[in-house]
Structure 1
Amino acid sequence: MSAFGGPQRSCAKRTPSAGRLRTVNSEAPVDVVLIGGGIMSATLGTLIKQLQPDWSIRVYERLGAVAQESSNPWNNAGTGHAALCELNYMPEAADGGVDAAKAVSINEQFQVSRQLWSYLIGAGALPEPHNFINATPHMTFVHGEANIGYLRRRYEALKDQPLFHGIEFSEDAGKVGEWTPLITLKRPKKQKIAATRIEAGTDVDFGALTGYLLDDLVARGGEVHVNHHVTGLKKLPDGTWRIKLRHTVGRTPKVVNARFVFVGAGGGALALLQHSGIPEVKGFGGFPISGQFLRTTNPKVVAQHQAKVYGKAAVGAPPMSVPHLDTRVVDGERSLMFGPYAGFTPKFLKTSTWLDLPFSVRVHNLGPMLAVAWHNFDLVKYLVGELLASRAKKLKALQEFMPTATMKDWELITAGQRVQVMKKDPKQGGVLQFGTEVIAAEDGSIAGLLGASPGASTAASIMLDLLARCFPGQMTAWEPKIREMIPSYGRRLSDDPHEAAASLAATAAVLGIPA
């Protein structure tokens, strides 16, 4: 089996011991094979190992280290999505109303992650929480009468929700400046602004978390194999899956059989699910969106901003492109990130090829993909504009949040690829879906995850749902252990203010964050 290096905080520094990798041509099927070494596979592997310690589990990662694509801390905003500040989870209706249902649902899912992480810390499976999660207030910020009116209505809809306890709203520049000085410093005094704030927000390094979860999986008998590219998936007559692999360094082909396969390969998941031949993937396509962030490590700038501040998306912008100015903590070092600046490339992964998009087109998904293109002209126009944006335009977007920003303090970094789900729709022919979607075979022998945000933050909830779909016969036996790890399992915390407050307090105490 493979092992990881010492207790380093950044996934980028984790390198497997290549000399301990075993050649895989075993006749006995592996119980669980997880394709992709990101947060989804790490979370699912952790859950299964806790629930069924005797099952054999192997993780196969194409790159030379785990968590190098979407889970890498510099490839995502690390928000710890809880809908505390993301306005796209509460869009304004035509009549001006706002509905809190989706925001509450996202927050519920994040609480499942908090409970799982807290349990794993107590069980010694995760290190001290500051290695991957840090307290960071979550804010929203808008200007202009119409936007202020919307934000006020959003606040009114959330202030009595148990999971949004402590949310504050202010139109006073002085108060907003107390929360984060960079927002108001040298801002025109006549400009009307408003903001909300919840102190109990977090910044999560999902790269480090992925590494720690996989470290524990290996310690409990699981295996993690890097530099292994899956080239084929085929269902065998006995119900198992034959997985063809190629070692990316020695180019040696290998074969392994598995009773259950999870495809958690991010943007690479669609191609593998298509290759598997399961009918459930028919009609699904992927729309890749690239991005960039501005980042600063200037201590004088970083010290003036301790929050994640989200604004409103531009017309036609995908939800994942909502502008935000974020405090990040990676390897114990603080920095600020602003963005993302969206763009387009046909790649489905940051390290894949330009042929991903054309090779993903099939007869069964061509119609939905063309329908999406027809109905999302605003998105296409937005992406073209982003691609052509100059550095001066990028700086201007930052100055909407931080009037004092100068380009000399900031560097441009390339973010990870996101592949949004396109699927059939009876009314429009095809829709572009923002979020995640689990695709599972009818017999539950294989499943995969498509889509993007809020993915990582809600991984525990998504993987529990996947277990229920793929292992219905085991769920009754597993339920006591699931409830031990996640006390609120099967219930909505938002339905009981007392239980919500108790859960928030309990996990906050373990994670070292405000309740």
Structure 2
Amino acid sequence: MAQDNQAHLDVLLVGAGIMSSTLAVMLKELDPSLRLELVEQMEDGAMESSNPWNNAGTGHAGLCELNYTPEAEDGSIDIKKAININAMFEESKQFWAHLLETGTFGDPDTFIHSVPHLSFVQGEDNVAFLKKRADIMQQHHAFKDMQFTTDKSVMAEWLPLMMAERKDDESMAATHIANGTDVNFGALTRQLLSYLSKQDNCSLHYKSKVVGLKRVAAGWQVSIKNLATGQRREVTSRFVFLGAGGAALPLLQMSGIPEGKGYGGFPVSGQWLRCDKPEVVEQHQAKVYSLAAVGSPPMSVPHLDTRVIDGKKSLLFGPYAGFTTKFLKRGSFLDLPLSVRFGNILPMLAVGRDNMDLTRYLISEVMQSMEQRLDSLRRFYPQLDPADWKLEIAGQRVQIIKKDAKKGGILQFGTELVSSADGSLAALLGASPGASVTVSIMLDLLKRCFPEQSASAAWTEKLTAIFPAPLKDLETNAELYAQTQERSDRLLKLR
């Protein structure tokens, strides 16, 4: 592995997950001369949120996620978020396709596979909603191939595992799009890190923890502790990116930038039911999302997913939420209390006041027995054998708490990029659909934190070569969208 122990860096990235590795590769593609270092407190990359067993692995493209297309009180359905997320995922695919086209990035079979994406609902009102949603979405070029049905024989072809021995009088419906994907973000991250390890002026340091962040004239002075030896070293970097999952919030607070004040975090743990039995797994080739129970938060949307990890197929069902005070799966129970500051205590108290339903929901999830969890799965798979399923611990999510002029504080689901006014430091907070839209987030970061370079002829030319179809054009230009998707799918070996 290439090592560079220079004390003066252009870029320091904290965290060896999908976020930091994507930004690091993007920057090296744009300017190979950049002196870049990535530090990670674990012994390897992709061991927290990017680990494949810690997330759903859905290539989020708005194809099946019903919470991306909310129904208003007047009955209208807004699909703008689904269109935007779909275009962002196509932007990610362009980047991965570019790296594959250069011939230095490995095999797409290790990290991405075609898996149909379906939405599944029960009950007459939900069937009517899904039909109306499909009619609207089919009018947009990104979703023109969406199929809707209430025909149980068609659903049995799409979902043989779920439809076996269903009652004839059950009211249900499904939508189906064939070109969905399952993504092993851990394998993708490891390929990005392997790519970085071969670049000049680039070093990767594991078992290394940032213990100090101080603004200086040259940028940031960063204290890094080697967790294996206990030794500390100092580096100075013109730009620092905090992409450490749940640990990004404490690091953002450590930086002291005004833009980070008022932010808090609400940690949520998760669990899955997992099945590895081949006779069961082979009957379900899909990611199937349904509606969250009434009063439940968006994070609770149930789904039964095909996963392909290291060449082996499994099924995951969930997620089942829980509460913890840890910000990382291998974090500390003191993470939440230590994150409370004078500047964020009022927003955090306001969120606690206004989200009692969420608190009750999390308590009910924590108290569930295995049999109750299996009952939730039976909505999807009535004929399950409990012996085929085991409980798997998922990754941590830290939902964003931020100031709000009216409420004092709000709990925000999604991802948010926080950057200093001078662009010398940025942090990524939040959760899903983060991994799927990482590339778009990093393109936004480049504009914010590297404005002069992004506007230069050299970077503009390179970015145009990597991304021939910009985000807004993907949303509005059907012909360009089709051409771009065909090229990306061919290079990524997707059907």
TM-score class, shorter-chain normalisation, is: over 0.9
In structure 2, distance between residues paired with 1:303 and 1:333: 11
Deviation at 1:91, TM superposition (A): 1.5
Matches within 5 A, 1:404-415: 404-415=383-394
Q: Are 1:77 and 2:56 an aligned pair?
A: yes
Corresponding residue for residue 462 of structure 2 = 481
Higher mean alpha-carbon deviation, 181-190 vs 65-74, is at 181-190
Deviations 1:68-125 (A, max 9, x none): 0000000000001001111111122112221010110111110100100111100123
Counterpart selection for 1:62 from 32, 38, 41: 41
Conservation of the 8 A alpha-carbon contact between 2:473 and 2:480: no
Deviations 1:250-287 (A, max 9, x none): 11112111111000000000000100110000111000
Conservation of the 8 A alpha-carbon contact between 1:107 and 1:163: yes
Conservation of the 8 A alpha-carbon contact between 2:49 and 2:396: yes
Q: Are 1:220 and 2:199 an aligned pair?
A: yes
Corresponding residue for residue 492 of structure 1 = 473
Deviation at 1:490, TM superposition (A): 5.5
In structure 2, distance between residues paired with 1:479 and 1:491: 16
Matches within 5 A, 1:77-476: 77-221=56-200, 222-236=202-216, 238-476=217-455
Higher mean alpha-carbon deviation, 317-326 vs 296-305, is at 317-326
Deviations 1:335-369 (A, max 9, x none): 10000100000100000100111111111111111
In structure 1, distance between residues paired with 2:129 and 2:351: 28
Conservation of the 8 A alpha-carbon contact between 1:395 and 1:406: no
In structure 2, distance between residues paired with 1:380 and 1:341: 14
Corresponding residue for residue 509 of structure 1 = 490
Conservation of the 8 A alpha-carbon contact between 2:50 and 2:186: yes
2:210 is matched by which residue type in structure 1?
Answer: V
Give the ranges of 4+ consecutive aligned residues of structure 1 lying more than 3 Å apart after TM superposition: none
Q: When the two structures are superposed, what TM-score results if normalisation uses the length of structure 2?
A: 0.98
In structure 1, distance between residues paired with 2:450 and 2:58: 31
Conservation of the 8 A alpha-carbon contact between 1:468 and 1:475: yes
Deviation at 1:239, TM superposition (A): 3.3
SS in 2 for 1:328: strand
Deviation at 1:163, TM superposition (A): 1.1
Corresponding residue for residue 13 of structure 1 = none
In structure 1, distance between residues paired with 2:75 and 2:150: 19
Conservation of the 8 A alpha-carbon contact between 1:99 and 1:157: no
Deviation at 1:428, TM superposition (A): 1.2
In structure 1, distance between residues paired with 2:356 and 2:154: 40
Deviations 1:237-256 (A, max 9, x none): x2321111111111111211
Q: Which runs of 5+ in 1 are unaligned?
A: 4-20
Corresponding residue for residue 17 of structure 1 = none
SS in 2 for 1:351: coil
In structure 1, distance between residues paired with 2:334 and 2:251: 15
1:198 is matched by which residue type in structure 2?
Answer: I
Deviation at 1:220, TM superposition (A): 1.5
Conservation of the 8 A alpha-carbon contact between 2:218 and 2:236: no
In structure 2, distance between residues paired with 1:214 and 1:373: 39
SS in 2 for 1:505: helix
Matches within 5 A, 1:26-37: 26-27=6-7, 29-37=8-16
Higher mean alpha-carbon deviation, 371-380 vs 459-468, is at 371-380
SS in 1 for 2:343: helix
Q: Share of identical aligned residues, percent? A: 49
In structure 2, distance between residues paired with 1:252 and 1:298: 47
In structure 2, distance between residues paired with 1:239 and 1:90: 46
Conservation of the 8 A alpha-carbon contact between 1:290 and 1:415: yes
Conservation of the 8 A alpha-carbon contact between 1:244 and 1:253: yes
Conservation of the 8 A alpha-carbon contact between 2:91 and 2:471: no
Q: Which runs of 5+ in 2 are unaligned?
A: none
SS in 1 for 2:452: coil
Conservation of the 8 A alpha-carbon contact between 2:415 and 2:430: yes
Conservation of the 8 A alpha-carbon contact between 2:115 and 2:178: yes
SS in 2 for 1:363: coil
1:270 is matched by which residue type in structure 2?
Answer: L
Conservation of the 8 A alpha-carbon contact between 1:125 and 1:213: no
Conservation of the 8 A alpha-carbon contact between 1:136 and 1:306: yes
Corresponding residue for residue 9 of structure 1 = none
1:371 is matched by which residue type in structure 2?
Answer: A
Corresponding residue for residue 6 of structure 1 = none
Deviations 1:443-480 (A, max 9, x none): 00010100000000000000000010001111122111
Conservation of the 8 A alpha-carbon contact between 2:116 and 2:180: yes
In structure 1, distance between residues paired with 2:321 and 2:115: 25
In structure 2, distance between residues paired with 1:498 and 1:245: 49
Conservation of the 8 A alpha-carbon contact between 2:87 and 2:471: no
RMSD over aligned CA atoms reads: 1.1
In structure 1, distance between residues paired with 2:349 and 2:395: 25
1:166 is matched by which residue type in structure 2?
Answer: D
Deviations 1:29-79 (A, max 9, x none): 111110000000010001100001100111100000100000000000000
